[in-house]
A and B are shown apart, each in its own frame.
Chain A
């Protein structure tokens, strides 16, 4: 038999058992799609804001357009006053003119390290107390939370990566199961094919082509579904598809599909035709 005949034979068998073919592909599709989607969410979170360069753009504050002259290094943090990154700095005199103030109402003080924070707070209170009444000011200490958001994002990414790995394994087991079951289920068919003259390699080739096609086509659909899902989520939060997640998910699922499609087929192709025919 030539290659084209084998391909025809395999596709006839796939068409004949549409439900089984679809179910087999479904495992691969979901496995691949979930990995791509979850990794794209994790990567998107990590890259949040990194890909935008705001310098030179204008930003309206209270109806007045300000040109952005630079971006401060991210500090991270949170707490009583919100994130330490969550502010825009403008010249003091401009601010007093634009916002109709005669004096600043908030002063940020940067401390060398967190151990000196309470000392700095006391110093600030002492200095301010000399000029202002007690109820005219308050000093708040913000605990240094450098990299907290990054740590948080790291945890989220790790969690998503873990979920992706689990779905890959679960998907892989699904593929493995359905491949093993479908070959076992077809033992009688294999017996009959051998009885009417199929050589061991004829059986092998048919199953090889079937499982390669299901794995590759299912993997391709999985990439499509993962990309679509990632685009859909991108409307709400930033996602970013990475090549390595696509390759890994596709390679892993397709590999499992092919290995567990072919291994039982090899066994089946070596079966005694009568044993296979008698198989219930």
Chain B
């Protein structure tokens, strides 16, 4: 049996707004193995984005722990968390979050800049990855010169370039037309077939149906976890 890549144990997150506590997540526990394609599904406000931020080491839980390859993630300080994000996690956001006025290839190179990779090596890797997502001829284009689908493919390339342990995609098709959305799903499925671990966060049942396992979440608690 393969070891757990990620294990979340009793994670809770509460926010205080005007002195009133709001429980975004309550006592969440699950594990993800290497090579899984998991969808975290729930309606908006269910806490799924908060959960993704915690899995992605972008946010700390109020309670509970997360182990990444057996390592207690939140025992680390902010510098170490940045390093974990850099090496192990590739993010794909709904808003693409590409740097404007910065070429596709420079956007893809960005995580490698913070990984101390030499600029020649960065360029080679980024170009190679952009070719894999079908943008080999648009490496010098700015985000404004690319369609939404193409921008999201640049973002996927950026997530892949460090060869991370896990890809976290937060509503990656949310800002795309159905055709471009289907292309993105196709790329994610191909990456899964290549053995990558993918966590897809979505409210859309149809999008989630492409994953091999769906963790359903509502009001901050897990209400279902089934394989398909």
Which A positions have Cβ atoms within 8 angstroms of B?
A: 1-2, 5, 8-9, 12, 16-17, 188-189, 191-202, 272-274, 277
Q: Provide 5 A-B residue pairs closer than 8 Å at the C-beta atoms, listed in order of the A residue.
A: A5-B113, A17-B101, A193-B114, A195-B85, A195-B97
Q: How far is the CB of B124 from chain A (nearest CB, A)?
A: 17
Does B218 sit at the interface, judged by CB under 8 A?
Answer: no
Q: How far is the CB of A233 from chain B (nearest CB, A)?
A: 40
Which chain A residues lie closer than 8 Å to B162 at the CB level? 197
The 8 closest A-B pairs by CB, nearest first: A197-B86, A196-B111, A197-B114, A199-B82, A273-B58, A199-B79, A192-B97, A16-B101
Q: Report Cα–Cα, A200/B162, bound state, in Å.
A: 20
Contact A195 B83, CB 8 Å, known A16-B101, A188-B97, A277-B97: no
Which of B78, B87, B101 makes the CB contact (< 8 A) with A200?
A: B78
Q: How far is the CB of A10 from chain B (nearest CB, A)?
A: 12
Contact A202 B58, CB 8 Å, known A16-B102, A196-B91, A197-B83: no
Which of A189, A191, A199, A272 makes the CB contact (< 8 A) with B114?
A: A199
Q: Report Cα–Cα, A197/B82, bound state, in Å.
A: 5
Chain A CB within 10 Å, residue with most, of B87, B91, B114:
B114
Contact A5 B82, CB 8 Å, known A189-B99, A193-B110: no
- Excluding A193-B114, A196-B85, A197-B114, 6 further A-B contacts by CB distance (< 8 Å) are A191-B97, A196-B86, A197-B162, A200-B82, A273-B59, A274-B58
Chain B CB within 10 Å, residue with most, of A8, A191, A197:
A197
Kindly report which residue of chain A lies nearest to residue B102, judged by CB atoms.
A16
Q: Report Cα–Cα, A17/B102, bound state, in Å.
A: 10
Chain A CB within 10 Å, residue with most, of B79, B93, B97:
B97
Q: How far is the CB of B11 from chain A (nearest CB, A)?
A: 16
Which chain A residues lie closer than 8 Å to B110 at the CB level? 192-193, 196
Contact B114 A277 (CB under 8 A): no
Which chain A residues lie closer than 8 Å to B82 at the CB level? 194, 197-200, 202
Q: How far is the CB of A210 from chain B (nearest CB, A)?
A: 15
Which residues of B (116-131) have their CB < 8 Å from a CB of A?
Answer: 116, 119
Which chain B residues lie closer than 8 Å to A201 at the CB level? 79
Does B53 sit at the interface, judged by CB under 8 A?
Answer: yes
Which chain B residues lie closer than 8 Å to A199 at the CB level? 78-79, 82-83, 114
Which of A2, A5, A8, A274 makes the CB contact (< 8 A) with B53?
A: A274
Does B196 sit at the interface, judged by CB under 8 A?
Answer: no
Q: How far is the CB of B99 from chain A (nearest CB, A)?
A: 6
Q: Report Cα–Cα, A8/B113, bound state, in Å.
A: 10
Contact A192 B87, CB 8 Å, known A197-B114, A274-B53: no
Contact A197 B58 (CB under 8 A): no
Does B153 sit at the interface, judged by CB under 8 A?
Answer: no
Q: Report Cα–Cα, A12/B110, bound state, in Å.
A: 12
Chain B CB within 10 Å, residue with most, of A9, A188, A274:
A274
Kindly report which residue of chain A lies nearest to residue B80, judged by CB atoms.
A199
Contact A198 B114 (CB under 8 A): yes
Does B31 sit at the interface, judged by CB under 8 A?
Answer: no
Does B75 sit at the interface, judged by CB under 8 A?
Answer: no
Does B115 sit at the interface, judged by CB under 8 A?
Answer: yes
Q: How far is the CB of A181 from chain B (nearest CB, A)?
A: 16
Which chain B residues lie closer than 8 Å to A272 at the CB level? 58-59
Which chain A residues lie closer than 8 Å to B87 at the CB level? 197
Which chain B residues lie closer than 8 Å to A1 at the CB level? 113-114, 116
Contact B114 A196 (CB under 8 A): yes
Per-residue interface assignment for chain B, residues 160 to 199, with 1 indicating a CB less than 8 Å from any chain A CB and 0 otherwise:
0010000000000000000000000000000000000000
Contact A196 B158 (CB under 8 A): yes
Chain A CB within 10 Å, residue with most, of B53, B56, B101, B113:
B113
Which chain A residues lie closer than 8 Å to B79 at the CB level? 199-201
Q: Report Cα–Cα, A272/B81, bound state, in Å.
A: 12
Q: Report Cα–Cα, A1/B114, bound state, in Å.
A: 7
Q: Report Cα–Cα, A16/B101, bound state, in Å.
A: 6
Which chain A residues lie closer than 8 Å to B115 at the CB level? 197
Which residues of B (98-149) have their CB < 8 Å from a CB of A?
Answer: 99, 101-102, 106, 110-111, 113-116, 119
Contact B99 A197 (CB under 8 A): no
Which of B59, B114, B119 makes the CB contact (< 8 A) with A274?
A: B59
Q: Report Cα–Cα, A202/B110, bound state, in Å.
A: 12
Q: Report Cα–Cα, A17/B56, bound state, in Å.
A: 30
Chain B CB within 10 Å, residue with most, of A9, A16, A196:
A196
Q: Report Cα–Cα, A230/B127, bound state, in Å.
A: 52
